[in-house]
Structure 1
Amino acid sequence: MTEGLQHSQAETGARYDVFHTDCPARDMVDHVTSRWGIWVLISLRSNDLRFYELRESIQGISEKMLSQTLRALVDDGLVWRNVEPATPPQVTYGLTEFGREVSEPLTELFDRITSRLSLLGMRRPGND
């Protein structure tokens, strides 16, 4: 009986079933759609950034959360990491080809939301 069992590798051309808790793709979906994962991917769409530049571009993220998010995205093959030997080390991050593919619809979603808010005349809190 293999019903409900998710194998670690899908057959060629088959899709993973992300609704199963043991599906390997589920972790990646969780990393991409996490509170900070989506912002890291969108921030890296336009440029490769050093750690501090990325932290500055995503307001509200702590160094700890940025480090954890980047580690997960690097492990998933969505983001690459380059360390230049210096004192202190200079670490640069960018999107892999796969990361660009995954971040494209996220950027489109972000653009649709901000366009809709602009059309509706929504204002940011505190801008009366």
Structure 2
Amino acid sequence: MTVTVPNYRGPARPESAAQSPGWPKGVVGRYLTDAGKALSDPTLTVDLIEQDDGVLARCTTCPDSEWKVPFDPASTGGRATGWATREAGQWAQRHAETCQAMRPTAAEQRALLEHRSRVLSNSPRGQPN
């Protein structure tokens, strides 16, 4: 299976459905993370998501790792979309080149949630120590 990887001209787009897994709605570009390359896992990506008010770059493996380039579509007539996509794409590419995060297994995720719950229940005012 071939994995599309972006080059300096911008985010890669799949040439066919057979080459890339299905992209979620709104995703206009994907960058394969360092971990994705090492593990040959095309699902470990940083996605560019086009939204009504900007372009969001979001890592699919790092919690809370995202960057949004906002724009006002009413005042730009949609012209900012290309600029915002390039700006968010630069952040996405930099993050993907160094990201070594992997998604936790279901068991690891349950254990993490249980641990967080115990920490919060044992700390004053529900705040972690």
Using structure 1 for the length normalisation, give the TM-score: 0.25
The structure richer in strand per residue is: 2
The structure richer in helix per residue is: 1
Using structure 2 for the length normalisation, give the TM-score: 0.25
